[in-house]
Amino acid sequence: MACRISELILDCSDPELLAAFWCEVLGYVELGREPDGGIEIGPPATGFGGPLPTLILSPTTDPRPSRLPLHLDVSPTDREQAAELARLLALGAKPADVGQTGREPWHVLADPEGNVFCLLRARIPPV
């Protein structure tokens, strides 16, 4: 038996803002709140422990440059990449430059707090 990713934790200064953003991007819903102000979001039908990992937006006022960097890759499920890019930009994502050449088949974006993520080209079936 192998391990499986069950949660991804993203340190942020405004969990409410990012929970709303990532719920719209991923079609997730709020699953719960932590005593420290963290918000867990995940798939509406399965929540924690389902086939997709949940995302915990954990409040911090002390960003540590030495922490493990994390970014998410997202893939469209019900539309082509260009349409999904337009949707993400309308939700508040911004193009980000991390040194890409411009010829990559993915788009590098940042969420409303500047956390970088990539929109891949390949459509994948919804779970």
Claim: this prediction has a pTM higher than 0.85: no
Which of 77, 70, 68 has its CA nearest to residue 43? 77
Domains of the chain (ranges, CATH numbers): 1-61 (3.10.180.10), 71-127 (3.10.180.10)
Would you state the pLDDT for residue 9? 86
Q: What is the pLDDT of residues 33-44, one digit of tens each?
A: 989 899 999 999
The set of residues, in sequence order, having a beta carbon less than 8 Å from that of 110 and lying 6+ positions away, is 93, 94, 95, 96, 116, 117
**Least confident residue range of 6-10, 21-25, 36-40, 86-90:** 6-10
